[in-house]
Amino acid sequence: MNGGFMKKTNNKSDAQVREFNKRDLGRDIVSSKAVAVVRPKIRQTPTSILLDPEIIEKLKEKAGGRGIGYQTMLKIIVHEHVDEY
């Protein structure tokens, strides 16, 4: 199990698992159904922020290439970089 977020559901190619572990959540991983998302059982607090349309478009482009939504992409970015500030 990877930090409680993902679990292996079958024995698909090891290459796919390596790509997933590199955080490349491309469409090939999503469509392969090699892993399944397991949501953490921690309570999350909804929040609201105002962003420039240009930032949202960039997030959508980056997220689309990974097969995820732009809000999920923003959450990943915040999670990975919050300790830098």
Answer yes or no: do 20 and 38 share one domain.
yes
> Is the overall model pTM greater than 0.85, yes or no?
no
Tokens of 28: 């090939």
Answer yes or no: do 62 and 79 share one domain.
yes
Give residue 85's pLDDT: 83
* DSSP string for residues in 49-70: ----HHHHHHHHHHHHHHTS-H
> What is the number of structural domains in the chain?
2
Angle CA 61–48–22, to nearest 5:
40
Answer yes or no: do 1 and 28 share one domain.
yes
Q: What is the pLDDT along the chain (85 residues), one digit of tens a residue?
A: 455 555 555 555 677 666 666 665 556 656 666 666 666 777 888 999 999 999 999 999 999 999 999 999 999 999 999 999 8
Answer yes or no: do 1 and 35 share one domain.
yes
The domain of 15 spans 1-43
